[in-house]
A = this chain, B = another copy of it.
């Protein structure tokens, strides 16, 4: 009988739920609206009914995986406590005892939760480009910047389960406002939102023509910036360079903490490929101490786009069982 795990990726907008076999093959998947319910009990009830649906679908195909547990990736997810705490982009406020609530619905022994970037790192380790690595980092470039640090083959959770918040290191003293009330944190520069803010700063500062001058802040997406850059738009090109500079410089500091073999970029902005990876690497190298130079790879995540998030979450189960 095939062994499998359920992976749940909770995002601000949507939540993806997959049943994945141990080799990483997605057997069934559903996407639900995270915000629709507001109420956490109703949200979990919908997760439960969608998982039931998935099992019925598999049964029809005569696939009956032996499910070993549920892995959950969520913003501000705490591995030790199984809680989601004060996640600014979720409608569930305060401290949500998510694993505890799930255990009331599901009898699996292993139900484990961590933040979404940590789940991505575990996914990279089990199914992606970090299969043979003991020391690496995954950076997720979405609305914000998340990170999962792996040291000696283990995820770094820290003493409280919250380690790996690289999006909040300060890169510009008194710099851009962050939703956390602080200023100048990395994610206000290096993320899908950050590059938008950079475009608007450049449009204000420069007098160069750009197709981005016709797009409002709310309309603009990092994909549009990428497409403009590919066509040679000077503002878009410069925006990628500025983003890479902040990211590369911050990653140099990070390398001097944990000296990883590779740093994987994951998520929307990372799909710009060499447009972001090449200059990020150059800026990083420029700042590194000699003993670290030309050693650390910056690579695109090898997890497949839409499925990557719940694949990572499901991988948490195998990691947990092996510990």
- A residues contacting B by CB (< 8 A) are 76, 85-86, 133-135, 149, 151-152, 154, 156-166, 168-170, 180, 182, 249, 252-254, 256-261, 287, 289-292, 295
A154 to B135, alpha carbons, bound, how many Å?
A: 13
- CB-CB under 8 A from A86, the residues of chain B are 290-291
A-B contact pairs, 12 of them (CB 8 A): A149-B258, A152-B152, A156-B257, A156-B258, A160-B292, A161-B259, A163-B259, A164-B257, A165-B291, A169-B256, A170-B252, A258-B258
- CB-CB under 8 A from A253, the residues of chain B are 169-170, 253
Min C-beta distance of A31 to chain B, whole Å: 28
| A180 nearest CB neighbor, chain B only | B289
Q: Are A158 and B259 in contact (CB under 8 A)?
A: yes
- How many copies of this chain does the complex contain? 2
A249 to B184, alpha carbons, bound, how many Å?
A: 12
| A152 nearest CB neighbor, chain B only | B154
Given contacts A151-B151, A152-B152, contact A162 B291 (CB under 8 A): yes
Min C-beta distance of A253 to chain B, whole Å: 4
A208 to B82, alpha carbons, bound, how many Å?
A: 55
| A262 nearest CB neighbor, chain B only | B159
- CB-CB under 8 A from A182, the residues of chain B are 287, 289
A292 to B165, alpha carbons, bound, how many Å?
A: 10
Given contacts A252-B170, A253-B253, contact A261 B85 (CB under 8 A): no
Q: Are B135 and A258 in contact (CB under 8 A)?
A: no
A289 to B249, alpha carbons, bound, how many Å?
A: 20
Min C-beta distance of A93 to chain B, whole Å: 14
Q: A166-B256, A180-B289, A254-B257 given. 12 additional CB < 8 A pairs?
A: A134-B159, A135-B159, A135-B163, A158-B259, A160-B259, A160-B291, A160-B292, A162-B291, A169-B253, A170-B253, A182-B289, A253-B253
A164 to B291, alpha carbons, bound, how many Å?
A: 12
